[in-house]
Every structure is written in structure tokens, then in C-alpha cells.
Amino acid sequence: MSAQLDASEYHSLLRSFLAEDLGSGDITTDTVVCATQRARGEVIAKAPLVFAGIDLFVEVFKLLDVTTEAEIKLRDGEELSPGQVPAIVRASARALLTGERVALNLLQRLSGVATLTRQFARAVAGTGAQILDTRKTTPGLRALEKYAVRVGGGTSHRKDLSEAVLIKENHIRLAGGVDEALEAAQSAKGQAKWIEIEVTNLEELRAALAHSPDVVLLDNMSPSLVRQAVEQVRTHDPARKIRIEASGGIALGNVRDFAEAGVDWISVGALTHSAPAVDLSFEIEPQ
């Protein structure tokens, strides 16, 4: 698993999450639990899942208690079965109780993204197509959700608007057409990693290919139409310098059809905007 994450880089973000949850203080924990009480908490999988975000999970408690210790048995990217205990955290009881919700929310969210991504990646295995994320991420969580996609076996598309040119339907409409949009985009060639344009039919594709963009995005086409589009691109570009991306209307049930049509990339917004949180619990006991 090539994805890496340094939890210490996210201290400001984690502190903001804790501040949102804490308000003026955890009055329940502070009145019910002794300040000197130590405790241990076990992370327990309640369903099959792909683990992602354990370092962030532990870091939440370290921000609340510098004496926090963690026994991490399974790392991000590993698959868990119900009942498995991938990590144990030892800290002050107050820290574990106060940080529990923020830490567990993150772990469940990121593991959910990784789990769904793994399902898509497996569905296209052997075709040569890559599963990509999109910018349809939770505001403030983009870097972490895209990390979870990589953990699950997917690949990151643009991290933000400054990385590449992606001309979509509204850009084309406002620019005056496919030709006008691609001609104007040439001025960004030295700045952008690639120039990509979205097309919705074969006529728009022919117009786009006249400008030889780096990537063509086949949007909301059926698998059979995607196959025709791929043949058109390969005929125009036998050296395969132009990458072909498919997006829109893609689900686990049909993603392999798109992959077998010959595209290089398949972008799936659902990886981050619709992945359900997985079922994990955090059981705390006195130590």
C-alpha cells in the first residue's frame, strides 16, 4: 500500500474538530470520571472493512493526553473481519472519553471510503483501468478522504483547481464551444499538469481531438458508446498519448463494463460523497 499519512501534519485540523465537539468543556466526563483514572480502549471491527485512518485516530488522544500509548496491530490498507481488534489505546480515562467521538468518526469515515474504493478496484482488476476519485469531497477533509481512496487501491485525480485544466460542460458553454475552450486553454500548458476536456457525444469528441488534449473525459456515456469513443481516440492517436477517462452513471454493477471498453481512468464521485461509514466501536475499560 503506497499511501502514506503523517498524522502530525493534521494537528490544526484535529484541534478544530475537538474544539467543535468540546465547546466549553466535556461536563459529563469531567464530573463523573476522576482526573487521575487511567483506561484502555479497544477498537473493534463490527463488519468486514478496509482499515484507514488509525494514525489520526491515535493522534486525537495524544492531543488530549501526551502520555497516550497505542498498540497498533493492523495498519491502514488491511482488511478486517468482524470481531478483530486492530488497535488498543491507553491514556487518561478523560482523554479517551472526550476524544472518542471525533477519533471514531474519522476512523469510520475514512475506512468507509477505503472499503468502497477497494470494491471498485477489485471490480476492474486485470483490465488496466484505474479507479480515480474526484473533488466531490467533504470540505476540510479532502486530503484525508483522498488518502483513504489511495489506501483502498484507487488513484487521486486533481487535488485542487490549480493542478490541471479540466474543461467541463459549463466551461464549454461559457467559452463558446469546444474549439474555443481548448484554444484558450493552451495558454495554461506550462502551468497545468495536463489539459483535459469533457465530452458528452462523438461529435464533441471529434472536435476535441482536433486539438489533441492530454485527456478526454467521456461523460455520462453508455459502455457501448464509450467503446466507440475509445476506438475513435485510438484511431486518431495510435501512440496512445491521449488518456481516456470515463465518468458519470458508474456503479459497482457496471464499472467493469466501462473498464473493458478500454478507458484508462474511471472517476467515481461516490467514493467520497456517498461512501457509508463502516461499523467500528471503541470499548473503554479501567486500567
Q: Which residues have a catalytic role annotated?
A: 101, 136, 168, 198, 219
Nearest to 233 by CA among 266, 193, 264, 271: 264
Q: Is there a contact between 133 and 271 (Cβ–Cβ < 8 Å)?
A: yes
Q: What is d(CA 82, CA 69) in angstroms, rounded to the nearest whole number?
A: 24
Nearest to 115 by CA among 19, 48, 199, 202: 48
* Cell (9 digits) for 190: 506550462
- Does residue 253 come out as left (phi exceeding 0), alpha (psi in the -120 to 50 range) or beta? alpha
Q: Residues 225, 228, 234, 236: is their CA dihedral positive or negative?
A: negative
